[in-house]
Structure 1
Amino acid sequence: MLAPAHSNIILRPHQETSVETVRQKMRDKHRRVILVAPTAFGKTECAAWIIQQSLDKGARAWFIVDRVTLINQTSKRFYSYGIDHGIIQADHPLTDPSKQIQIASAQTIARRSFDYLPDLIVVDEAHCEYQAVIDLIEKAARARVIGLTATPFTPGMASHWDALVNGATVNQLLAKKWLTPLRIKACVTPDMQGVRKKFTGEYEEEETGQRGITIIGDVVQTWVEQTRIHFGKAVKTIVFSPSVKHGEELCRQFAEAGYNFQQISYLDGSDKERQDKIDEFSKPDSAIHGLVSCAVLTKGFDVPDVMCGISCRPYRKSFSSHIQEMGRVMRVAPDKEFGLWLDHSGNSIAFADDTAWLYEYGVASLSDAEKRDSTVREPTEKVRREHFCHNCGMKLEPGIDTCIGCGETRRKRGEIEIVQGELIDLDITTKAAFEPRKGLRAKCLDDPRSVWNAALAYCLSNGRKGEDASRKWAYGVWRGIYPSSKLPCGLYEITCEPSRVQVDEWQLVEREVRRFRKDSQRRAA
């Protein structure tokens, strides 16, 4: 077991394992290693432990945050760990180039030239790629580099990092009660048909905001009703808004209903004004019921007692933004049994299968990861029918035949009717998202990724027409087992691991191949 370098940095077992894996990757000559782990995993604690080790060895280390407003927050955490440091920022009172440890923002790095370079670089929120940071890493060719992120889905990341370490999955942290589960409700959403798209493929913000304004009455009413049902009162809430005008109208209508919601956005008059609102919101007895966020707070925001999140900003591609937003409500806090997620964007439906896969398995590779943010997803009725309670809208839990929200019995396939505007519950688990063919009962069916790996292993070892043909064959086998599902983005190209195939998985694939051949022979006859 790794011994903590400072009495205030005591790593949990999963953090110790991750730190040692990162260090082993570097011993194996991987200079740039990215640590992928969900919100509340403790990525900063892991980085601080490694930085403290480098300090003891006399090395110079830089910790780079993705915006200036996180400098002071990170500095406070480092001091709480007992790590003395300087800050690279103009006129900052803690500026001291003689310190071995420095905290800097990507923006400051872009504006400065340096006569000295670090031996270790830690990049927080590494999915927010800045050219200045990429250039620094290239220039400091001898420095070891660690990236920290929960969502490594930015196109191009695979060319900037040498190795990936999965720290833990969301489901693993939920099982250990180091994350709070979400109850997700898909609510009334605006009509997005015909909305203009930006060059990135995402919806244009102002027009999206205008469409969203038409349902703000439903947003406020739903929040009042659902917080009363689940918590008995109004609770701390964060809202993700598509535009400043939309956020202003939200705050106005919440105020008319008797609640204090304050907007923070990229148009705030000053960093202090925004921070004052966040500081007040962070108080246990805050006078602010909710913060409405426009293009901020998807990362680096740590208020654990937020009980409810409202999603009002639809995404077509940005799976990472959806995951980051939900993570703001999943931190643990005293007496917090669950977080409530009210989805007025359709994102929970559009990204349901990808979310289930990520929560269960983590990230397979960076090439896989970046494809998740380059593929358009749209909410579908199929996902609604398979994942949601038809009656009240509460999340359908796996393996339970009654809804936890209303007690309604889960309906069989083909019996569910969808009513426009009703609340529907989402089940974000692989068991619900990847349902095997009726009649199949093997235990390994609960692990569709392992079944895919087994199908790949079988077809690659028995195919005679090359790898491409074998992968197509394997996909046909897998789709025969899970006929209503598709592989999440990037899994088709994943490297096969034959050594991990279990006997029951191999036997399942063999049976499927025999079944297909018999069916083909009957059709031919």
Structure 2
Amino acid sequence: MKLRPYQEQLVNELHTAWKDGYKAPCIVLGCGGGKSCIVAEIARRTTWNGKRVLFLVHRKELVDQIFRTFVRWGVLMDLCQIGMVQTFTRRLKKLPKPALIITDENHHSTASSYKRIYDYFPNVPRVGVTATPVRLNGDGLGDVNDKLIVGVSTKWLINHKCLAPYDYYAPCIADLTGLHTKMGEYVTADIEKAMIKNTVFGDAIKYYKSLANGKKAVCYCSSLKHSMATAKAFCNAGIKAVHIDGSTPKAERDKIISDFRKGDITILCNVDLISEGFDVPDCECTILLRPTHSLTLYIQQSMRCMRYREGKKAIIIDHVGNYARHGMPDDDRVWTLEKKKHKSVKKAEEEQSKKIKSCPECFFTFESPPPGTTPVCPHCGYVFPKAEREVEVDTEAHLIKVEGFKLDFTSPEDCHSYQDLLTYAKEHGYKKGWAFYQARNRGLLV
């Protein structure tokens, strides 16, 4: 087993950081860059020097997976303990002192359970790995790390055929202003009320058939109930889909993953299981049906379909406007250990939405051109009118209600937003003035 040059460089930079006196560096590398190989190599070198390694994970599903990777890489497992941080915190006095602590998905390490382990072994050097070294509130990880070792960008990985290129589709931006949040995340019960509607299921199925018909996909839902209902809706539409979660028995889960690999199952529906570090066979499409404030969750889920294969073009279908909160998956981001100066969530989302455009004809989503340049959709060639930017921002921020993305309107009464009315007018050959008049009379324009 051999590291790629950019992976080897990160390992070398880590050793240099330790020599320079840093105690807890964090390696930053995008999803699909091979972080598991990097930590396996670090663990292998450490154990082959006769030193113990303590490897921390945050989910039980990852323990066996990482164990297999380490065995395959040649790590001496008699000198390496892999386990959940929650388990280790209860058994600190029984743990033999390690020579190195490695933290998987290091953005979780600001939690008190991790800090208890770090504090118990205060003189033991550490290293963490993550694609997003940031807390949910946007702060850096300076509380637990003293140096960031940043690898190549996601764009670099795509350009060098380490990740597949992608097309990003977002039918419209959902207005989530009525949903409550708790600990920075949307409350599950509120999301269910907004998302557990047949119109949403119909829309998800319609766009899947239109953009990725027959391709293996992973679908991310807002709750277990929503995930199971979504899987059922796909099945009812003749598309083989299965729900999977952390409580699914291991034998059944292995069978589901195997069937997905063989193509007997087309769509895997879940909430968060198939995210951080979870190994799943190659797929070509991800379907986002869950709004999230978490950049980490967004990156992990949206990029699930970007494992490289010759000639592959991944498809990301974002039904909840997550790109407007976080940008595109391969955006270049500047990471820091420091706390950030916070803006309001609404202002940050409005600023981000100005950088991204969604084509009203084919729904292809792309970065806005420089100021003064007429936007043209690179997918279908649609030329945006000059006033489009202002209307788009207003619609995204204020006018779209969480009604799903219903496109089959029987009558104008089925339309619940100005965007719905525009769609209805287009389908029936009406002029745009009709939609504006209807929206104004209904009080949909603020």
* Superposition TM-score, scaled by structure 2 size: 0.78
Match of 1:28 among 13, 16, 20: 20
Aligned-pair distance for 1:242?
0.5
The 2-side partners of 1:320 and 1:256 are apart by 32
Q: Which amino acid aligns with 2:156?
A: Q
User: Are the structure 2 counterparts of residues 395 and 386 from structure 1 closer, same or farther at C-alpha, using a change threshold of 3 Å?
Assistant: closer
Corresponding residue for residue 338 of structure 2: 367
Corresponding residue for residue 330 of structure 1: 306
CA contact (8 A) 1:151 1:324 kept: no
Q: Which amino acid aligns with 1:407?
A: G
CA contact (8 A) 2:356 2:366 kept: no
Match of 1:255 among 216, 230, 235: 235
Aligned-pair distance for 1:378?
7.0
Aligned-pair distance for 1:334?
4.2
The 1-side partners of 2:355 and 2:361 are apart by 12
Corresponding residue for residue 246 of structure 1: 226
Aligned-pair distance for 1:372?
8.2
Corresponding residue for residue 252 of structure 2: 273
Q: Is 2:282 the partner of 1:299?
A: no
CA contact (8 A) 1:153 1:373 kept: no
CA contact (8 A) 1:34 1:149 kept: yes
Q: Deviations over 1:419-442 (max 9, x none)?
A: 97599xxxxxxxxxxxxxxxxxxx
Corresponding residue for residue 76 of structure 1: 68
Corresponding residue for residue 128 of structure 1: 108
Corresponding residue for residue 365 of structure 2: 395
CA contact (8 A) 2:259 2:265 kept: yes
Q: Which amino acid aligns with 1:217?
A: G
CA contact (8 A) 1:124 1:149 kept: yes
The 2-side partners of 1:21 and 1:197 are apart by 39
Task: Give the 3-state SS of the residue equivalent to 1:121 in structure 2.
Answer: strand
Corresponding residue for residue 119 of structure 1: 99
Match of 2:180 among 196, 208, 219: 196
User: Are the structure 2 counterparts of residues 126 and 251 from structure 1 closer, same or farther at C-alpha, using a change threshold of 3 Å?
Assistant: same
Corresponding residue for residue 124 of structure 2: 143
Higher relative contact order, chain-length normalized (CA < 8 Å, sep 6+): 2
Q: Which amino acid aligns with 1:176?
A: H
Corresponding residue for residue 315 of structure 2: 340
Q: Which amino acid aligns with 2:335?
A: A
Aligned-pair distance for 1:379?
5.3
Q: Is 2:285 the partner of 1:308?
A: yes
The number of residues matched between the two structures is: 385
Match of 2:167 among 171, 183, 192: 183
The 2-side partners of 1:120 and 1:201 are apart by 32
The 2-side partners of 1:269 and 1:253 are apart by 20
CA contact (8 A) 2:356 2:367 kept: no
Q: Which amino acid aligns with 1:332?
A: Y
Q: Is 2:189 the partner of 1:209?
A: no
| Identical pairs, percent | 27
The 2-side partners of 1:374 and 1:166 are apart by 28
Q: Deviations over 1:311-356 (max 9, x none)?
A: 11112x31221111112122113442x211111111112222xx47
User: Are the structure 2 counterparts of residues 166 and 386 from structure 1 closer, same or farther at C-alpha, using a change threshold of 3 Å?
Assistant: closer
Aligned-pair distance for 1:381?
9.7
Aligned-pair distance for 1:160?
0.9
Task: Give the 3-state SS of the residue equivalent to 1:340 in structure 2.
Answer: strand
Q: Deviations over 1:147-203 (max 9, x none)?
A: 0111121257311111111012111111211111221111246553422322x1322
CA contact (8 A) 1:36 1:150 kept: yes
CA contact (8 A) 1:68 1:107 kept: no
Corresponding residue for residue 427 of structure 2: none
C-alpha RMSD of matched pairs (Å): 2.9
Q: Which amino acid aligns with 1:136?
A: I
CA contact (8 A) 1:166 1:363 kept: no
Task: Give the 3-state SS of the residue equivalent to 1:387 in structure 2.
Answer: strand
CA contact (8 A) 1:15 1:42 kept: yes
The 1-side partners of 2:334 and 2:296 are apart by 12
The 2-side partners of 1:373 and 1:38 are apart by 25
CA contact (8 A) 1:318 1:373 kept: no
Q: Deviations over 1:19-65 (max 9, x none)?
A: 11111111111111110110111112122222222223221112222
Q: Deviations over 1:207-229 (max 9, x none)?
A: 212211232211111111111xx
Q: Which amino acid aligns with 1:309?
A: T
Q: Which has the larger radius of gyration?
A: 1
CA contact (8 A) 1:302 1:328 kept: no
Aligned-pair distance for 1:404?
3.9
* Superposition TM-score, scaled by structure 1 size: 0.67
Match of 2:206 among 211, 216, 221: 221
The 2-side partners of 1:395 and 1:57 are apart by 50
Task: Give the 3-state SS of the residue equivalent to 1:364 in structure 2.
Answer: coil
Corresponding residue for residue 522 of structure 1: none
Q: Which amino acid aligns with 1:234?
A: G
The 2-side partners of 1:138 and 1:234 are apart by 51
The 2-side partners of 1:373 and 1:60 are apart by 44
Task: Give the 3-state SS of the residue equivalent to 1:350 in structure 2.
Answer: helix
Q: Is 2:380 the partner of 1:406?
A: yes
Q: Which amino acid aligns with 2:105?
A: E
Match of 1:350 among 320, 325, 328: 325
